[in-house]
Every structure is written in structure tokens, then in C-alpha cells.
């Protein structure tokens, strides 16, 4: 029923504003857009091996009055789909006559990996670990360089939408630099389960020197940016998608892009840092700790069994915290993930 309602809203919008005909373009030219217009684009990013353009879908909505440019990007990792539906629902409910400013929405940023049902790019690289990229670099470097030139350069604010990856599941949580008042407000408006204070460094204890995440790159360009993790990979989760839509609409209200009231629910748990815990031998892993569960130091969080069913290892929490994400795949080799542990802001180590 919810999907039907959004479809009817979309049809109604088309009836008012006209059928958006997708255009193939090399650049989004905001200065040429008319007020109260909705445009669909296939934006060229690179060429494939047959000399054909690889394009990404872009929806641009320009309101009746001037205002900020809000960017939304989903599925930079090809298996992280909930954000795509969040974008669809946000755009379906827009009222162009009362919109102040412009929205640039990309419901599917990794055009290569999404149809292949895979997380990483064609060359097995993680696009979200390759910014700023290089104009004349390798395949993944050129792809992210184009994103920086053709998308990041156009927006004043950015919401980067993700989920967990294969074999893991996430809460609804936000990564944001909470020392910045603008980005802190954007994060808290999401009504998320958890808000994690993070400047753009991945949570998997990865060391990055010359490259960085898209959020870190955008912030370096002066664009207030948050990353939202909407649950699980390769699925649409209606409850999280609905909450995500409300969070984006809250940002729009706060920026003065519409006159809608800000919708608030329960306050998020604030974490000052986070890290993953890993197993030290292989086997069949059962994670006992639930998502959003507050765990205590020395509390049992997982057990490991061998192929014969014998209990070979128990894992305990090293300090008080909250479960942001966890492994959902029982089959784990040495070094497999157990839980993503968030350390609460008011907790001392």
C-alpha cells in the first residue's frame, strides 16, 4: 500500500509539472534550470570497453525560489540499496512550488556494481576509499575524480547514504564530525538510533594516507556532509527507508527549503568513537549481542564452534559500549568481524 501511495504521488507530480524526459549529459548545468522544474539526467562519468558512456541517474529539482543546493547520493557501494528508495520517496513528496533551493539526487552512484550485485568497483577497489581520485589515474581513480568534478562541485550540503555490506547488518546510524555545529545538526535531525562522532575515517581500523572517503573529501571542499547507514545490504527495508525520508525532510526544513515542521522522535545515542572486534580463529560464529544493545565490559558477545559443533571460543566485550553493527554470516575465518562497538560519549574508557 505504501509503495502504491508513493507511485500515485509521483504520477500526480508528473501530471502537474510534466513528464521528465531523461537527458544524456556530460555536466549538470544548474544555472540553466527553470524555477519549479524537475529534470532527469543520465550523467556521463566514464566510458566502458566498447567506447560507450557509463552513466549514472540524476534527479534535479529546482524550487520556485532561490536557496541552498542539497545533494543526496546513494549506493557508492553497489550492494547498499536502502538509500536509493529513500531518495525515491523524498523526491516523490516534493512540492516544487514551495521549494526554496535545489536538490540534486543520485539514486545509484556506482553504475558498474549495482547491476552486478556487488559492493566493490569493477577493478575490485572500494570507491569510498579512493577519493579524491585522479583525472588520468586507474579505473577507480578516474571514476571518483569524475564524481568530485561533476557532483561534489555542485552542492552546498551533502547526505551520503550507505548500509552494511554482505555478511553484516547495521543499526540506523549517522557518521558526522560533531565538532562542527552544522554537521552535528544535520546528524541529529535524522532521528537515528546512534550518532557517531567521526571525521570521515572508516570504522574497520583501516589506515588511509593519500586517499579518503567521499565524506572526508566533501568536507575538505567546504561542504557540510554526513554519512547515514541505513541497515542491511541488498534489500529495501521499509521501516528504515521511511525514517530516512523523514530525516532528509528535516534537513530541508532546517535549511529553509520548505515550511514543513521538523519531526522529532527519540534522541540518538551519541558515541565518541567506535571500532570493530574480530575473531582470532575460524569457525561458525554466533553473535549473541543484538543491534543497539548496550553491552558491559566482560559481557559475553559471541561464541565460536568448530565444524563438529564443539564450543571452541567465547568472546567478551573489552569495554562498555553499544552495538552499532554485527556479523550476520555464521561462517567466519580468522580475522572475521564480530561486532562494531560504539563507545558512548559519556563513558570513560
Closest CA to 271 of 213, 319, 219: 319
Domain assignment of residue 266, yes or no: no
What are the pLDDT digits (tens) for 180-195? 999 999 999 999 999 9
Gap between the Cα atoms of 41 and 260, Å rounded: 28
CATH number, domain at 284?
Answer: 2.40.50.100
What is the rounded distance in angstroms from the CA atom of residue 344 to the CA atom of residue 195? 10
pLDDT tens digits, one per residue of 15-56: 444 567 899 999 999 999 999 999 999 999 998 887 789 999
Last residue of a domain, one of 196, 222, 254: 254
Using the 3D structure, point to which of 224, 254, 284 is the last residue of a domain. Answer: 254
Which domain CATH number covers 116? 3.40.630.10
Please report the pLDDT score of residue 19 as a whole number: 63
Q: At 228, list the grid cell.
A: 547515514
Task: Tell the residue number behind the cell numbers 568497483, with chain if given.
Answer: 121
Cα–Cα dist 254/184, whole Å: 13
Identify the band that residue 203 occupies on the pLDDT scale cut at 50, 70 and 90: low
Q: Identify whether 213 is part of a domain.
A: yes
Mean per-residue pLDDT of the chain: 92
The answer to whether residues 239 and 297 belong to one domain is no
pLDDT attached to residue 201: 73
Strands (E), the chain: 23-25, 37-47, 53-62, 65-74, 100-107, 157-162, 168-170, 172-176, 194-197, 225-230, 269-278, 283-287, 294-295, 300-305, 311-316, 321-327, 331-332, 337-344
Note the Cα 241 to chain centre separation in Å.
12
Residue 261: CB atoms within 10 A of its CB come to 9
92 domain-assigned = yes
Which pLDDT does position 211 carry in this prediction?
Answer: 87
Cα gap 83→71, rounded to integer Å: 13
What total number of domains does the chain contain?
Answer: 2
Please determine, for residue 87, whether its predicted confidence score (pLDDT) is greater than 50: yes
Do 233 and 290 reside in the same domain of the chain?
no
* Residue 268 located in a structural domain: no
Residue with cell 579524491: 132
Assess whether 194 and 338 both reside in one domain. Answer: no
Residue 180 lies in a domain: yes
In a shared domain, residues 123 and 30: yes
Same domain, 192 and 320: no
Residue 15 burial (CB count, 10 A):
9
In contact, 131 and 215? CB cutoff 8 Å:
no
For residue 216, the model assigns a pLDDT of 96
Residue 264 belongs to some domain of the structure: no
In a domain, 225, yes or no: yes
Shared-domain flag, residues 294 and 248: no
Q: Which of 72, 57, 95 is nearest to 158 (CA)?
A: 72
pLDDT digits (tens, 9 = 90+) for 229-263: 999 999 999 999 999 999 999 999 999 999 999 99
The whole-number pLDDT of residue 90 equals 98
Assess whether 119 and 10 both reside in one domain.
Answer: yes
Q: For residues 326 and 48, which has the higher predicted lDDT (pLDDT)?
A: 326
> How many other C-beta atoms are found inside a 10 Å radius of the C-beta of residue 97?
12
198 and 321 inside one domain: no
Distance CA 338, CA 332 (A): 9
Residues 322 and 191 in one domain: no
Residue 288 and residue 171 share a domain? no
DSSP 59-98: EEEE-SEEEEEEEEEE-SSTT--HHHHHHHHHHHT--TTT
pLDDT at 205: 54
Give the separation between CA 104 and CA 73, rounded to whole angstroms.
Answer: 8
Residues 240, 142 share a domain: yes
Q: What is the tens place of the pLDDT at every residue in 268-319?
A: 999 999 999 999 999 999 999 999 999 999 999 999 999 999 999 999 999 9
Of 274, 304, 272, 306, whose CA–CA distance to 287 is shortest? 304
pTM summary value: 0.91
For residue 210, pLDDT over 60 is answered with yes
The pLDDT score that the predictor gives to residue 10 is: 45
Instruction: Sheet containing 311-316: give its strands across.
Output: 311-316, 300-305, 283-287, 331-332
Last residue of a domain, one of 254, 284, 305: 254
Do residues 62 and 150 both lie within one domain? yes
Percent of the chain at pLDDT above 90?
Answer: 86
Give a yes or no: residue 261 inside a domain: no
In which domain, by residue range, is 204 found? Answer: 2-254
Residue located via cell numbers 555478511 = 167
- Cα-based distances in Å from 51 to 47, 54, 79, 112: 6, 9, 26, 15
pLDDT tops 90 at residue 346: no
Amino acid at each position: 500500500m505504501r509503495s502504491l501511495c508513493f507511485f500515485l504521488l509521483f504520477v500526480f507530480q508528473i501530471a502537474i509539472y510534466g513528464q521528465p524526459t531523461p537527458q544524456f549529459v556530460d555536466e549538470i548545468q544548474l544555472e540553466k534550470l527553470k524555477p519549479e522544474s524537475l529534470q532527469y539526467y543520465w550523467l556521463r562519468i566514464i566510458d566502458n570497453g566498447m567506447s560507450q558512456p557509463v552513466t549514472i541517474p540524476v534527479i534535479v529539482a529546482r524550487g520556485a525560489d532561490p536557496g541552498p543546493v542539497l545533494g543526496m547520493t546513494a549506493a557508492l557501494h553497489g550492494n547498499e540499496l536502502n538509500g536509493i528508495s529513500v531518495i525515491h520517496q523524498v523526491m516523490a513528496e516534493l512540492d516544487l512550488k514551495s521549494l526554496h533551493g535545489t536538490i540534486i539526487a543520485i539514486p545509484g552512484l556506482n553504475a558498474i556494481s549495482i547491476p552486478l550485485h556487488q559492493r566493490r568497483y569493477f577493478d575490485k577497489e572500494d570507491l569510498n576509499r579512493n577519493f579524491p581520485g585522479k583525472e588520468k589515474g586507474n579505473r577507480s581513480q578516474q571514476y571518483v575524480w569524475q564524481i568530485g568534478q561533476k557532483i561534489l562541485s555542485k552542492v552546498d550540503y551533502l547526505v551520503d547514504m550507505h548500509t552494511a555490506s554482505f555478511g553484516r547488518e547495521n543499526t540506523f546510524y549517522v557518521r558526522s564530525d560533531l565538532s562542527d555545529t552544522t554537521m552535528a545538526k544535520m546528524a541529529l535531525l535524522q532521528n537515528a538510533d546512534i550518532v557517531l562522532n567521526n571525521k570521515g575515517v572508516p570504522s574497520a581500523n583501516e589506515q588511509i594516507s593519500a586517499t579518503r572517503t567521499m565524506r572526508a573529501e566533501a568536507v575538505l571542499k567546504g561542504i557540510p556532509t554526513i554519512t547515514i547507514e541505513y541497515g542491511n545490504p541488498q534489500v529495501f527495508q521499509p521501516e528504515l527507508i521511511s525514517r530516512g525520508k523523514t530525516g532528509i525532510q528535516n534537513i530541508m526544513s532546517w535549511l529553509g527549503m520548505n515550511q514543513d515542521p521538523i519531526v522529532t522522535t527519540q534522541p540518538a545515542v551519541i558515541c565518541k568513537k567506535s571500532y570493530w572486534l574480530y575473531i582470532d580463529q575460524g569457525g561458525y560464529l554466533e553473535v549473541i549481542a543484538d543491534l543497539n544493545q548496550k553491552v558491559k565490559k566482560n559481557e559475553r558477545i559471541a561464541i565460536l564452534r568448530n565444524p563438529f559443533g564443539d564450543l571452541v571460543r567465547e568472546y567478551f566485550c573489552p569495554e562498555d559500549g553499544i552495538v552499532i553493527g554485527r556479523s550476520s554470516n555464521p561462517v567466519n575465518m580468522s580475522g572475521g568481524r564480530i561486532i562494531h562497538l560504539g563507545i558512548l560519549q559519556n563513558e570513560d574508557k
